[in-house]
Copies of this chain bind each other. A is one copy, B any other.
Amino acid sequence: MSFLQLQPQWVIGDGPYSDIVLSSRVRLARNVMEVPFPRQATVEQLRQLVKEVEEIKNENKKLTHLKLLKFADLPLLERKILVEKHLISFQHGQNEEGALLLEDNGAVSVMINEEDHLRIQCILSGLQLEEALEQADKVDDALTFQLKLAYDDDFGYLTCCPTNVGTGLRASVMLHLPALKIIGRLEPILRSITKVGLTVRGTYGEGSQVYGNIFQISNQVTLGRNEQEIVDNIQRVTMQIVEHEKNARDILLKNGKIKLKDLAGRAYGILSNASLLSIEEAMRLLSDLRLGVDNNLLEDIQNKLLNDLLISIHPAHLSKLYDKDLAEGEQDIYRAILLREKLRGRN
């Protein structure tokens, strides 16, 4: 399967607490000694790094499940698709010397020549930070074994941005918190998270916009804590939020199952019958629909489909699928067509 069709592993939706924790992500930032950080490096140095990584990959059996994608070989549209899958950053995709190692099941990937030389990430379904860290660590070990990394005995891994110095680890979870939003308890809970050294932001949506009640919680600091402490902290906080969201869902069910069913049914009705759907509205309706599906109020709709739609309703995915350059207005038309096809066909 081409990486264009391949969805990230988490989309399958089979992980622990995956009704609330859509995915867990771990990312390790690594840089090679004696090569300037990508922003300062020459084209030649960047190419040399990609070449080196390619050689390591080809020679190491533990890395054969990774495929190398060089951005210079990819049309911009295909790079945008990787951005929409959250496999690379927008800036990374703009870099002609950028590259990506991508696992064939879509869980592990390595950004090459992003802000740091290597950013090894693993994204898994549900709350699986430990497992994600383990998988990322394995690739880290195999990939960087022969490389002389920029490492300082006092500071730890050195990175382009000071916030990543130390473990170079950023761990995050993507949470769907519709019930907390509906009962009006979301804001105080999110505020309290920032007090324990974690950051909250919308996962989808531009800048600070939050689409579809989906939030990403990640560690702010990588220095002064070891990997385990960072992961444990997010894990613990996530479990608390999961409990809050579960309680909120119970409250909503007690207040009237039919109201929740109505909300989800309307969302399904609009998503599968509208002719124009903005991404913001689609995300909002998918959130309503998911809340109903999570509570077994709608039949025949799988979380896997809803997860897939969170990604495939984005512009580059639509352009690729319908083989058209889509102006902004047209995106809403094709998004509606996709949602209608996917939800009615349930594929």
Which A residues form the contact surface with B (CB < 8 A)? 258-259, 261-262, 265-266, 268-276, 333, 336
Contact = CB atoms under 8 A, between A and B. Distances in A.
Q: Which of A262, A266, A273 has the most chain B CB within a 10 Å cutoff?
A: A273
A336 B263 CA distance: 13
A268 B266 CA distance: 10
Contacts of A259: 275-276
Contacts of A274: 262, 265-266, 269
B270 A258 contact: no
Nearest to A336: B262
Given A269-B273, A270-B270, 11 more contacts: A258-B275, A258-B333, A261-B275, A265-B275, A266-B270, A266-B273, A268-B269, A269-B270, A269-B271, A269-B272, A269-B274
Contacts of A270: 266, 269-270
Nearest to A297: B275
A258 B336 CA distance: 11
Contacts of A272: 269
A274 B262 CA distance: 5
A212 B272 CA distance: 23
13 contacts: A258-B275, A259-B275, A262-B274, A262-B275, A265-B273, A265-B275, A266-B269, A266-B270, A266-B273, A268-B269, A269-B272, A269-B273, A270-B270
A231 B270 CA distance: 43
Contacts of A273: 265-266, 268-269
Nearest to A271: B269
Q: Which of A258, A269, A276, A333 has the most chain B CB within a 10 Å cutoff?
A: A269
